[in-house]
Structure 1
């Protein structure tokens, strides 16, 4: 994928690899999502991975949603 931007690479890509170690892909109600594991064991939705535009209108898949046991709260 090509990304055209006036920003430098360092502004877009983080140098700290440890921030990506907590991220994983999870299926939530049949939809693929990128989540980040929090210190208390719950997960925070980071990104919805879908090709269906209607999925992005669903409030359940908003970035920042806290998930416990794969269910949104």
Structure 2
């Protein structure tokens, strides 16, 4: 099914509040990242929150990458 509309996707298909509760902003090696917890210590990168273009080209910060965070790294 195709929707032809000018309405934003967020209004057509709202995300449940529970999905946002899993997300957090962390800093890894000086780069702020929006991540979502996948398991106890594993997180998936959703967005890079940086104004430095080289951070977007760095493969270790690509959205979809899994990173393991210890208690001391956050």
What is the total number of aligned residue pairs between the two structures?
66
2:37 is the counterpart of 1:37 = yes
Q: TM-score of the superposition, structure 2-length normalised?
A: 0.74
How large is the RMSD of aligned CA atoms in angstroms? 2.3
Call closer, same or farther: CA 1:53–1:69 in 2, change over 3 Å.
Answer: same
Q: Mind listing any 5+ residue stretches in structure 1 that lack a counterpart?
A: none
Matched position secondary structure for 1:20? helix
| Pairs within 5 Å for 1:3-42 | 6-8=6-8, 9-11=10-12, 13-14=14-15, 16-42=16-42
Counterpart Cα distance in 2 of 1:12 and 1:30? 34
